[in-house]
Each structure stands twice: as C-alpha cells, then as structure tokens.
Structure 1
C-alpha cells in the first residue's frame, strides 16, 4: 500500500489488538494528514503534563464522583476546555492537536482528552457511543454514571441521557440499551473519522472526505456502506476504475439494497465511458 507517512503510522497503530491501540496516537496520526509537520510526541507529552497536574489535585479517597469532580475542575475551570458550540462543524474540533492547543472540541474529541488524562491518573474510563452525542463513563462494573465531556464534564444518569437524546432529536426518544454501550478503540476512531467525513462532505471537499472513508475502511473493512461511499467519492473525483470496483463489490454483497438501481445506473454510465 502506497501510504503517506501519517497514513502509514496510523495503519501500523491499528494493526495491534484493539485494546492495545493507543487512541491518542491514532488520533494524532489522523490529524497528521492535515498537518504533516505535527509532532506527535509533543502532544503526548502535553497529555502527560496535564495528567501529572490533575493527579496532584485528586482527593485522597478516590471515590469515583470525587475523582470526576476533580478532573472536571482541572480540565474545564483551570485549563478552560470547552465544547465549541459556536462553530461545531469546524474541522479543527476533530483534530486532536487543535483540540489540545485551542481547548475547544466536539463531544468525542473532548472525551478523548478526558479519557487520556483519566487513564494516566489510574482512573480508567470508556467511551459510550450514544447517537449524536458521545459520552464517557468510569470503567467500573455496575457503575451507571456517565460524563458529558462536551458540557464541562456534567455527570449524568440513564434518565438524563434519555432527556439529552430527546433534546437533540427534538422529539421523545426511547433510550435503547445499546445507546449506552461502551465502544472499543476501533469503533471510537471510526466515529472520529465519520465526523470528519460528514464535515468535509458538507464543505464539498471530496478528497478529504475520501481520506476519512479510506481510514474508516482500514479500521473496519466490512463496513459495507463505507465501501459504497468510497465508490461514490471515487466517482465524483472521476476515478472510474476504483469507483467501479467498489460499487460492483457493494452490489455483490447487497444486491437488493434500496439504492441498487442508482448504483447500477452509475456503473452503466461509467462502462460507456
């Protein structure tokens, strides 16, 4: 595979067993495609420094809610991290170096800052892939509390999560158990890249949207809709050979897909040249 240096580092990182993937490194390698001169070690050291400072502030009795309160005070009050509500779709909210530098992000990128600091102070947490709003929670059995890193580390219970979902969808939403399930490292990175994909599609930046989809498929090659989308992006870029290969593969796997007639028309059009 003829990858850029950043893509090669990303690929190497995700070849490990899921639990061994370093989320911070992988996220920085994602950002490195946008910023080729990005110094990954500099930002890993910045996280180490943050964690060392956070550790000094931890309560003597490490009760989970007190630890969360202490981390919240450090990240949001002392350092000034915040959700970027004014410009949510700025791509910089998804680049981990920018999030650390600017102290601004979206739910998943701020969650990653929180997760990395918490891990370094021996308070492991996991990501929770709630639809449209990423959360985190302590990795403690039977502890059903959630932290909203986008909203200053607000502590939430399941009922609060349902209310937050209803606010986001602007209608009553029934909270399904899978909405609050922990995500693994590959799923976490896919969600980060999916955010970038839709930001770039909104901006009509097809090449950067394609780069996001390519990395999603490196993480989870069986994501059939991403295979289709890669084919459609190739088509928009005039890369008809690659587009044909992906779209034919898509139809082979899901011949009765709702969009199959549209895909077949595109394939016919490309075959005619």
Structure 2
C-alpha cells in the first residue's frame, strides 16, 4: 500500500460519497501509530465485510430492527466490540488499528466499524453528530433507527435521546431540530481525529496536535477552520512562514467577514516579526 499520507491526500480529492470510511480511518491510524500491525487490521476489515454480506442474505432489507440486531450480533456478540469506559481518554481508543486489536474504543471509532459493516451489507446508514456522543443511524423506507454503538448497539428512542442531551447539555436542554442530522464520511473522520488533537493539546503536545491537524487537512483540504487552527499552532511554535501560509489559505476559503478581518490583522502582526 502507498504511503499513508499520500493515501490521505488522495482521499481528500474524493467526493464524500466515494470515501471508504474504514480504509481512510486505517490510513489515519497508520500515520498515528506507524509501528502497529495495519495489515492485520486491514484483514479484519475485509473479514467483517465478508461476514456482512452473509448477514445481508438473511435479513430483510426493510426491517431496520432486524438489521440492528444482526449488526450487534456480529460486532458485539461475535467480535466483542465495546465502548471503553475504563480508560476513555486513552489515545488508543481513537486509533482504528488499536481499536481492532483491543476490541474497545470511543463511540466514533466503533461507529466507523459499524458503518463499514453496514455498507458492506448493502444497507443504508450514517453517523450522527449528537452532542457529546457519536451515534449511528440505519435508514430505509422513510424510517430511521438510532443506535448507541458505544452501548452495544442499543436502539435509542425519543425519551432516550432526550435524557442523553440533558446529560450532556444540562437539565434544561431539550431535543431540537438538527440534532439527528446525518454526517458525511469526511465529517465522521474529522470527529475521530479531533479526539486525538484535543487530547494532545490538553497534554501540551503542540507539535503533535499540529501534525494531527495537518493530517485532517489532507482529507479535508477545504475546511477553513482547520487552516486557521493550523495557523494558530504554527504561530505559537514561532513558525511564522508556515502560519502565514495557513492564514492565506484560510482567506482563500473565507475572504470576507469578521473572521477574515481578524486573520488579516494577525497576518500583519506576523509580518512585522519578519521585518
């Protein structure tokens, strides 16, 4: 397989619907953990896909409940995947290779495995960027089944979702339009990597956080917030020329507005350092 960073850049040029979400997460994991056995992880993903094809032959296309049960039987029952409640902040929980090795991970990392299996089965599914907790939805025939993959694939109904949003946002929070909006593959991958970036920032690993942001930009080269974040990190590392390049790219994507004005002011201050 090609260099993982080159693979990420190729993924960055694909339309969202053509992204193989599990393979993309595998490339990100290879960059993050170059010593890990990515070939074994890839073989496991291929095995899951084959098992998903067999599942699909036994489950009606219009029975979302049966699909959810079959997926849980495969991923949780057969392969033992579960949410890591004991060491939630362990960076391994956001690295797909390590998640496959340990059979434990964050909601979004587990969700990628579920979405990979859903796609291989020929069913329809997507991620949900729910506040504080990534979810997976199966859809079809005008219906949707929302699943908590961190909780073994449990089906969540309106009272469950209401309780979840209150737990995250406080007792006054309520369900509102947009909370169950589908996420594309690229957005799911960015949420996965954002877990790594935030953990590195909290640990004071600024160079590592910048490297993670640069990998995110490889798969999402038109994401202006990431260019701004990269610029600010380069600025804190006193890498002035790199910071200016990132700010310039931000302005190509966001040429007007308050954010653009603040970026231009920051660029003027950086240029003064060069003089």
Q: TM-score normalised by the shorter chain: which range applies?
A: 0.7 to 0.9
C-alpha displacement of 1:242: 1.3
CA distance in 1 between counterparts of 2:243 and 2:133 reads 32
The answer to which of 15-24 and 31-40 deviates more is 31-40
Task: Quickly say closer, same or farther: Cα 1:68–1:245, change in 2 above 3 A.
Answer: same
The answer to which of 47-56 and 20-29 deviates more is 47-56
Q: What are the superposed Cα offsets for residues 67-86 of structure 1, whole Å, 9 maximum, x if unpaired? A: 21132133223322111122
Whether the 8 Å contact between 1:144 and 1:158 is mirrored in structure 2 is no
- The yes-or-no answer on 1:8 pairing with 2:9 is no
CA distance in 1 between counterparts of 2:261 and 2:156 reads 39
How many matched pairs?
269
Task: Quickly say closer, same or farther: Cα 1:247–1:19, change in 2 above 3 A.
Answer: closer
- Of residues 239, 252, 255, the one that matches 1:253 is 255
Whether the 8 Å contact between 2:111 and 2:134 is mirrored in structure 1 is yes
Whether the 8 Å contact between 1:127 and 1:182 is mirrored in structure 2 is yes
CA distance in 1 between counterparts of 2:39 and 2:141 reads 33
CA distance in 1 between counterparts of 2:87 and 2:59 reads 39
SS of aligned partner of 1:144: strand
Which residue in 2 is equivalent to 1:149? 149
User: Which structure 2 residues correspond to residues 123-272 of structure 1 after superposition, within 5 A?
Assistant: 123-247=123-247, 253=255, 256-257=258-259, 260=262, 264=265, 268=269, 271-272=272-273
CA distance in 2 between counterparts of 1:117 and 1:198 reads 28
CA distance in 2 between counterparts of 1:229 and 1:180 reads 27
The answer to which of 24-33 and 169-178 deviates more is 169-178
Task: Quickly say closer, same or farther: Cα 1:77–1:182, change in 2 above 3 A.
Answer: same
CA distance in 2 between counterparts of 1:126 and 1:205 reads 32
Gap regions ≥5 residues in structure 2: none
Task: Quickly say closer, same or farther: Cα 1:256–1:79, change in 2 above 3 A.
Answer: same
The answer to which of 4-13 and 140-149 deviates more is 4-13
Whether the 8 Å contact between 1:118 and 1:125 is mirrored in structure 2 is yes
CA RMSD of aligned residues (A): 2.9
C-alpha displacement of 1:31: 0.8
CA distance in 1 between counterparts of 2:137 and 2:238 reads 44
C-alpha displacement of 1:50: 3.2
CA distance in 1 between counterparts of 2:43 and 2:80 reads 19
Task: Quickly say closer, same or farther: Cα 1:250–1:79, change in 2 above 3 A.
Answer: closer
The answer to which of 177-186 and 42-51 deviates more is 42-51
Q: What TM-score do you get using the length of structure 2 for normalisation?
A: 0.85
CA distance in 2 between counterparts of 1:131 and 1:204 reads 25
Q: What are the superposed Cα offsets for residues 212-250 of structure 1, whole Å, 9 maximum, x if unpaired? A: 222333333343332221111111222111113434665
CA distance in 2 between counterparts of 1:80 and 1:249 reads 44
Gap regions ≥5 residues in structure 1: none
Q: What TM-score do you get using the length of structure 1 for normalisation?
A: 0.85
Tell me: higher relative CO, structure 1 or 2? Use CA pairs within 8 A at least 6 residues apart: 2
User: Which structure 2 residues correspond to residues 46-65 of structure 1 after superposition, within 5 A?
Assistant: 46-53=44-51, 60-62=58-60, 63-65=63-65
Whether the 8 Å contact between 1:59 and 1:70 is mirrored in structure 2 is no
